[in-house]
């Protein structure tokens, strides 16, 4: 029987694609290989470990987990690690031939390791490895699919700092047109792929990460991190990558505004992706000495939401979970140049200024259970962004993938 291959790169991919793999393992009697293509430590990720436990409980012998170097020859293993180094340090790229080495690696994998494959699944990426893999797969008539590794957290189309027109804003999406199928969680995401809609290659299947079925499982398997941190008002703030058009100076001012009150403890959750993370502590050393402040990029986002009384957001899909759990979520729209998707659906969550932030903190300090949004708006957000078109999200993903095989 032909099998399906899932390639996973980073935390976000594992976060959003693991639910699909879980449903596949537990409902489809079709072999599957899960291949980590970045750091080997992700084989010990709590979501991957949970998938392994499911495989063991079901006594399945046709499901395997690998780091990509585990299935390469000794020579190609060295080549692959070298390619990864050059991709991270692009200044050295001109001194090597990454393209030709990548082609050798892909050819080896397809001809030696992936002989009986009916489908290749990736995340939303357009790197050279993926592009080359899809080219080889197409020549063998094996379909390729790109699955979500997040969501579109801004309602507007022109989002990035360097974008000044609609053509610029489409560039990241145009680069993914080499996939046979692009899967998105909702119509908002699909709007970015209008150039492919007529080809029937863009599929709207809902959010695997934030659907009810996976949220229930995730609540049981997420890290059991305990905090000795307590305060009358506990606040968590989620930041974006530094390449988004965020007013970082004003971010620091808002942190200072919040932490001037000893009654508040603030945890700032920086973005976990290495070089993309804004160096908040480096740029603002005073934060290291602030007693009621913790800046972190490792604590699980879901755990932080459970701990907090209020969630402050600059436009991340992580906060889909706080909205789904009806946790007070405020959108710091005055800190960036976009319109957050949550803010679009739930205008009452919008913070326009320092004044409004200060007033909101005072009100929640007095009453943590106060109403934070209009319930009809919250339900509309859930229906249109997460449960599209209905709550059978994971089943829909698996049925679609099986259909391609």
What are the angstrom distances between the C-alpha of 276 and each of 17, 153, 172, 239? 22, 17, 17, 11
pLDDT for 38-47, tens place per residue?
A: 999 999 999 9
| Residues across the chain | 405
Q: Which residues pair with 65 in a beta bridge?
A: 34
What are the angstrom distances between the C-alpha of 212 and each of 259, 291, 352, 396? 35, 37, 32, 14
- Which CATH topology does 3-211+387-404 take? Rossmann fold (3.40.50)
In the prediction, which pLDDT does 173 show?
A: 86
| Calpha distance 313→268 (Å, rounded) | 10
- For residues 192 and 201, the answer to whether their CB atoms sit within 8 Å is no
In the prediction, which pLDDT does 330 show?
A: 98
What are the angstrom distances between the C-alpha of 61 and each of 5, 56, 65, 169, 320? 15, 8, 11, 45, 35
> Domain extents for the chain?
3-211+387-404, 226-377
What is the average per-residue pLDDT within 345-354?
Answer: 98
Distance of CA 324 to the CA centre of its chain: 16
Most confident range, picked from 74-78, 149-153, 327-331 = 327-331
In the prediction, which pLDDT does 32 show?
A: 97
The residue that leads in pLDDT, 321 or 99, is: 321
In the prediction, which pLDDT does 168 show?
A: 87
Mean residue pLDDT across the chain = 92
| Calpha distance 123→183 (Å, rounded) | 9
Note the CATH number of domain 226-377: 3.40.50.2000
What is the average per-residue pLDDT within 242-251?
Answer: 90
Would you state the structure tokens that stand for residue 55, as one six-digit string?
């495989």
| Calpha distance 368→131 (Å, rounded) | 49
pLDDT for 277-334, tens place per residue?
A: 888 999 999 999 999 999 988 899 999 999 999 999 999 999 999 999 999 999 999 9
Q: Do domains 3-211+387-404 and 226-377 have the same CATH topology?
A: yes
Contacts from 371-380 at CB under 8 Å and sequence distance 24+? 372/328, 372/329, 372/330, 372/348, 373/329, 373/346, 373/348, 373/349, 374/346, 374/348, 377/345, 377/346, 377/347, 377/348, 378/323, 378/326, 378/345, 378/346, 380/345
- The residues near 350 (Cβ < 8 Å, ≥ 6 apart) are 330, 331, 333, 343
| Calpha distance 255→342 (Å, rounded) | 21
In the prediction, which pLDDT does 93 show?
A: 57
């Amino acid at each position: 029987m032909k099998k399906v291959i899932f390639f996973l790169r980073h935390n976000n991919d594992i976060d959003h694609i693991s639910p699909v793999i879980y449903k596949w393992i537990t409902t489809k009697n079709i072999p599957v290989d899960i291949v980590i293509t970045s750091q080997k430590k992700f084989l010990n990720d709590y979501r991957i470990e949970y998938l392994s436990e499911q495989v063991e409980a079901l006594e399945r012998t046709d499901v395997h987990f690998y780091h990509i170097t585990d299935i390469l020859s000794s020579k190609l293993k060295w080549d692959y690690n070298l390619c990864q180094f050059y991709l991270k340090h692009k200044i050295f790229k001109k001194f090597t031939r990454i393209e030709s080495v990548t082609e050798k690696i892909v050819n080896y994998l397809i001809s030696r390791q992936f002989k009986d494959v009916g489908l290749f699944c990736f995340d939303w990426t357009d790197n050279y490895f993926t592009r080359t893999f899809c080219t080889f797969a197409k020549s063998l008539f094996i379909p390729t699919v790109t699955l979500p590794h997040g969501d579109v957290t801004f309602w507007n189309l022109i989002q990035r700092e360097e974008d000044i027109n609609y053509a610029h804003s489409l560039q990241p999406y145009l680069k993914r047109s080499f996939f046979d199928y692009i899967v998105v969680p909702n119509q908002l995401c699909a709007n970015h792929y209008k150039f492919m809609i007529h080809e029937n290659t863009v599929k709207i299947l809902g959010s695997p990460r934030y659907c009810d079925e996976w949220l229930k499982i995730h609540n049981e398997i997420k890290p059991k991190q305990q905090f000795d941190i307590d305060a009358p008002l506990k606040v968590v703030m989620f930041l974006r990558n530094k390449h988004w058009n965020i007013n970082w100076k004003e971010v620091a001012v808002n942190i200072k505004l919040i932490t001037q009150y000893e009654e508040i403890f603030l945890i700032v959750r920086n973005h976990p992706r290495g070089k993309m993370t804004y160096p908040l502590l480096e740029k603002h050393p005073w934060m290291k000495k602030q007693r009621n402040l913790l800046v972190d990029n490792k604590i699980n986002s879901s755990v932080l939401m459970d701990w907090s009384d209020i969630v402050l957001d600059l436009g991340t899909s992580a906060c889909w979970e706080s909205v789904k759990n009806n946790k007070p979520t405020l959108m710091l729209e005055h800190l960036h140049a976009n319109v957050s998707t949550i803010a679009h659906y739930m205008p009452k969550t919008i913070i326009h200024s320092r004044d409004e932030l200060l007033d909101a903190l005072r009100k929640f300090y007095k009453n943590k259970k106060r109403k934070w949004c209009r319930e009809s708006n919250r339900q509309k957000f859930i229906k249109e962004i997460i449960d599209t078109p209905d709550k059978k999200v994971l089943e829909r993903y698996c049925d679609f993938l099986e259909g391609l095989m």
